[in-house]
Structure 1
Amino acid sequence: MNKSKDIFITGFALFSMFFGAGNLILPPFLGFQAGEAWLLITIGFVITAVIIPILGIVAHARLQGTMYDFGKKVSPIFSVVYCFIVYGICLLLPGPRTASVTHEMAIAPFFNSSSLLTSSIYFILVFIFVMNRSKVLDLLGKYLTPIIIMILLAIIGIAIFASPGAVQPTRFSTPLVDGVLEGYQTFDAIAAMVVGAVLIISINLKNSSPAADKQQLIFKAGLLAGFGLFIIYTGLILIGALHNTEFPEDVSRSALLLGLGHKTLGTAGASLLSVLIALACFTTAVGIVTGTADYLKGLFHNSKTVYTITAIIGSLMGIVMGQFDVKYIIDVAIPALMFIYPITIILILLNVIPEKWASALVFKSVVITAFIFSIPDFLKILAPSEGLTSIINAIPLASYNLGWIIPSILMFMLLNMYRHFNPSNAS
């Protein structure tokens, strides 16, 4: 067995799983708004868009299971409900967002057609591919990602050396925090939970090495994938900042990426990029609907009827939500992400640390704490009020939408101190 080759192949597969086309439009716009504070924004963004997702893969390697296994220490019912919520969010937000990105980048610049027509045709095709499980998507994935990476690296390289020099001041008052929260919008931590099991199963089928060797393989491949994501995200944020004087203040995320493509590669290069991103969007959408349908099919004794019904519902949800522009979908996603991301991050971290520090009691208590203290973040967006503001002001970091962090850490520390001094009473 060629270990280096296995690490490279697995790392590239991981990178492809996280390299969602919708994510490409987020970093340049973040840099555009960050201006001179691009480095702080990048650090924050990398925490939630690279480090946490890769830790999610490491957790999968330890668990050797599915997303359900992440939360089973809290309770089986919690884990099932969590899985339903995550898959529901995937069908409602990142899946339809791929159609919206496709329309803005590959259809609207060339054709005067409605976004509803795009999302309808798009998700009818998604449904057909989901029902036929064609290997064409696997082949597209193998060749699409390397080509997109090469084009992006070319755009980044040329844009860095051809920048105008002047950079507008940042629009963020807390760039590090804003970077962390914008990283939520990549959905990469959720992606780690959803698709990580696919990677584990594939490795187990093809590799008969001991479990420890497989874990090392996944760990090193994760570092490689994380480094690749770091380079692309950092480069896109940087060029967004370096060129923020060349675009209007109200430029959209899609228009900014297309504009940078035009400035660096010309019309032909930008057009090729938009078509490739549209194809990559399509493979992502098919993967989301297929993964959700597979999960529900498994719950109902491998029922083909359940698989078909889920595919239909997922495609219809895609048509309805996919007609809206990217900005609208991103705005709609914020409350859902404020609700589900703290729990997701906690579950990933608790499944990565040594088991002696992550008992069932710790899982239950820390997850409940994170949930309770993330409620103000969730409500602040949906229904702001003076009473809620008073509560937020009393919770450390809550004004930055991160009020769950310190209480969760304190709960974790207190329970482990209690276990240390009372080992017979801790579970």
Structure 2
Amino acid sequence: MNKTKQTLIVAFALFSLFFGAGNLILPPFLGVQSGANWYFVAFGFALTAVVVPILGILAHAKLQGTMFDFAKKVSPLFSSIYCIIMYSIAVALPAPRTASVTHEMAIAPFFSIPTIVTSCVYFGLVFLFVMNRSRLLNLIGKYLTPLIVIILLVIIGIGIFAGSTETVATVVSSPFNLITSGILEGYQTFDAIAGVVVGAVIVVSLNASTEGTYAEKKKLISQSGLMAGFGLFVIYAGLIACGYLLQSSFPENASRTEVLTSLSQLTLGRIGTTFLSVLVALACFTTAVGIITGASDYVSSLFKGSKKVYTITAVISSVIGILVGSYNVAFIIDVALPALMFIYPITIILILLNAVPERFASKTVFKGVVLITFIFSVPDFLKFLVSIEYLENITSIIPLANYSLGWVLPAFIIFLILNAIERKEP
């Protein structure tokens, strides 16, 4: 296959595997909240929903292994526990959420079908794709993603040119609040998790279908990742801008899904709901396929690549998807938040450490930075579960802790200290 064509196919596949439920419903709502300063929230959102995930893909291009390789420098035991937690969260929350979003936005407006029926059919089809993983990249990259991109660009193009800048009161106003709001809302896309999970899927799929040297595959994955990242940024920024430009046209106190539905109707008219339904179904479906394929790959690798284990894992993951996917989107988002506050900081740090040059990321640096990140992210995690007075006293003295980013400065400082110590050692 032509190298350029293959790069485009992998880039489209990456884009589609990243682009799921949260990627659609979150950006327009952020635009409504941010108002005229929408570009600040777009910047924050891009950090956790574009930059970090694509760095994850670049790290995979360097490692060309499995997710286990992401954390093995800390310790093999830690890496195994991390992988189990990551795949458990991915299978139990973002994958089922794609079915829930599909039902609420693509099925319920047209048919009076129970959510459990939608989930059963949805994950039945997901299972078929997962079991035909050798054709995964071509099916997604050649056919599904281009349709997603076309529909999105039409909505954004019409929205930007047709929108007005009528002033509407916004929820948050200061630039820093907007940036941090965008960063934390970017957590809900699960894209950092997807960068680690989906990157492994791409590596395994390429190894199964493509011959080439390490350097050739690294170049292919890196170029595809950068192209997918650029596409994600354009779409996110466009949807956030549309949320701002058309905010006066949305229903008062509209939810995330209502804003997205209104956006499609305002830009594409009566046919907008149909277009949006197709878009939502495609975007959600490809993400679910990527997550379950990644989980099945990992569990299978623990049993010497057993195809039987791969199938069993895919079945169990699909059943979990059916059960959790029968709940509404708002419930799944609320349940996901504590889990994200727990796993996201460690995931971001592991991605960054794997992306930087080897000389700055020794085993000692990995262990120290990950440990400090975990310690300083515990208060952020706990405050979403329980209300404890002494937690407020702790967060008040940790920089950025009030923004649920208390781990950032300590992790950066310990990274610098450990590298400085290692440079001085003979």
TM interval, shorter chain, is over 0.9
Matches within 5 A, 1:118-137: 118-127=118-127, 129-130=129-130, 135=135
Q: Distance in 2 between matches of 1:204 and 1:309?
A: 22
* Residues 1:223 and 2:221 are matched in the alignment: no
Q: 1:154 to 1:85 in 2, by over 3 A?
A: same
Q: Distance in 1 between matches of 2:414 and 2:218?
A: 29
Kindly provide the amino acid, as one letter, of the partner of residue 16 in structure 2: S
* Residues 1:147 and 2:147 are matched in the alignment: yes
Aligned-pair RMSD on alpha carbons?
Answer: 2.3
Q: 1:43 to 1:135 in 2, by over 3 A?
A: same
* Residues 1:385 and 2:388 are matched in the alignment: yes
Matches within 5 A, 1:171-182: 171-173=171-173, 174-182=177-185
What corresponds to 2:41 in structure 1?
41
Which deviates more, 35-44 or 118-127?
A: 118-127
Structure 2 contact 100–115 (Cα < 8 Å) conserved: yes
SS in 1 for 2:247: coil
SS in 2 for 1:382: coil
What corresponds to 1:94 in structure 2?
94
Q: Distance in 2 between matches of 1:229 and 1:34?
A: 20
Q: 1:8 to 1:126 in 2, by over 3 A?
A: closer
Q: Distance in 2 between matches of 1:134 and 1:348?
A: 27
Q: Distance in 1 between matches of 2:275 and 2:117?
A: 22
What corresponds to 2:241 in structure 1?
238
Q: Distance in 1 between matches of 2:339 and 2:293?
A: 22
Q: Distance in 2 between matches of 1:208 and 1:133?
A: 17
2:411 to 390, 397, 408: 408
Matches within 5 A, 1:194-343: 194-204=197-207, 210-343=213-346
Deviations 1:116-150 (A, max 9, x none): 33223333443455456695895355322111211
SS in 2 for 1:166: coil
Q: 1:43 to 1:144 in 2, by over 3 A?
A: same
Q: Distance in 2 between matches of 1:263 and 1:239?
A: 11
TM-score w.r.t. length of structure 1 = 0.92
Q: CA deviation at 1:179?
A: 0.4
Structure 1 contact 34–169 (Cα < 8 Å) conserved: no
Question: Unaligned 5+ residue runs, structure 2?
Answer: none
Kindly provide the amino acid, as one letter, of the partner of residue 92 in structure 1: A
Structure 2 contact 193–347 (Cα < 8 Å) conserved: yes
Q: CA deviation at 1:77?
A: 0.6
Q: Distance in 2 between matches of 1:203 and 1:311?
A: 20
Which deviates more, 341-350 or 324-333?
A: 324-333
Kindly provide the amino acid, as one letter, of the partner of residue 55 in structure 1: L
Off by >6 Å, runs of 4+ in structure 1: none
* Residues 1:69 and 2:69 are matched in the alignment: yes
Q: Once the two structures are aligned, what percentage of the paired residues are identical? A: 60
Kindly provide the amino acid, as one letter, of the partner of residue 163 in structure 2: S
Aligned residues: 423
Deviations 1:7-30 (A, max 9, x none): 434333322222224411111111
Which deviates more, 320-329 or 394-403?
A: 320-329
Structure 2 contact 71–350 (Cα < 8 Å) conserved: yes
Deviations 1:28-56 (A, max 9, x none): 11112211221100000001111111111
Deviations 1:259-298 (A, max 9, x none): 1111111222430331242134233323322321232122
Deviations 1:230-257 (A, max 9, x none): 1100000000111111122332222221
What corresponds to 2:78 in structure 1?
78
Q: CA deviation at 1:386?
A: 0.9
